[in-house]
Amino acid sequence: MDASSLYLIPVTLGDSPLQKVLPEYNVQIVSSLKFFIVENVREARRFLKKCNRNIDIDALTFFELNEHTDRKVIRPFLDPLRRGNNMGLISDAGCPAVADPGADIVAIAQDEGFKVVPLVGPSSLLMALMASGFNGQRFAFNGYLPVEAGERAKKLKQMESRAYQEDQTQIFIETPYRNQKLVEDISLHCRPQTRLCIAMNISLDDEFIVTKSVKAWKNHLPEMHKKCCVFLLFHD
């Protein structure tokens, strides 16, 4: 393991078994680190114990970086790296720095010339794309859509237009408690023949990944409330 490296450490998507989605190499790396930048300290401690029950959690140092963290104070988080120590970056779920506040600390590490090492692990975005049947060569991740109704409708129409005109898969996510409303908005503003893939609870026991036309989804939606979903739009 190279010195002064920032390891981007994926975590499980929910309570799926560790061995189902993460290689043993990740566990070895995690067990060797003493400094972590995490989205949530409590969740990170649970994950680390899941990786290795013999880890001395109290001997570790955590820096918390989430949506509430003032970006002006995060640069010192990399001080252990500057002193020659390896560090780990951990998100709440899936891959860090993708639709995740950790991207800001990765940018600083890159600017300062440190080695950034992404480890293998589950990406709900790519797994949803793989299973959707949509174009996997030309795609765009749009993150969270606007909350305001008019802006959301405009964004949905823009994405649909790009799917048709550029043959480009459109990927987006939503806060779990607003999943149902989002699909209702898609039904309202998108063409009936446009295809929509709903990918829910990826890698978990109740995983659901199904592609249908917008019209076919109407009145046949799965229970999505407070479940982690990825949505994909593509032309017919």
pLDDT at res. 68: 87
At 93 the pLDDT is 84
Looking at residue 166, its pLDDT comes to: 97
Which residue type is seen at 15?
D
- Residue 3 has what pLDDT? 62
The confidence score (pLDDT) of residue 19 equals 84
List the structure tokens of 61: 């140092």
Residue 99 is predicted with a pLDDT of 83
Task: Please name which of 114, 118, 86 lies closest in space to residue 100, comparing C-alpha atoms.
Answer: 118
Per-residue pLDDT of the chain (236 residues; tens, 9 = 90+): 456 999 999 999 888 888 888 999 999 999 999 999 999 999 999 999 999 999 999 999 999 998 888 888 999 999 999 999 999 999 988 899 988 889 999 999 999 999 999 999 999 999 999 999 999 999 999 999 999 999 999 999 999 999 999 999 999 999 999 999 999 999 999 999 999 999 999 999 999 999 999 999 998 999 998 899 999 999 99
Q: What is the 3-state secondary structure (H, E, C) of the chain?
A: CCCCEEEEECECCCCCCHHHHCCHHHHHHHHHCCEEEECCHHHHHHHHHHHCCCCCHHHCEEEECCCCCCHHHCHHHHHHHHCCCCEEEECCCECCCCCCCCHHHHHHHHHCCCEEEECCCCCHHHHHHHHHCCCCCCEEEEEECCCCHHHHHHHHHHHHHHHHHHCCEEEEECCHHHHHHHHHHHHHHCCCCCEEEEEECCCCCCCEEEEEEHHHHCCCCCCCCCCCEEEEEECC
Q: Name all domains of the chain by residue range, CATH numbers in brackets.
A: 5-118 (3.40.1010.10), 124-234 (3.30.950.10)
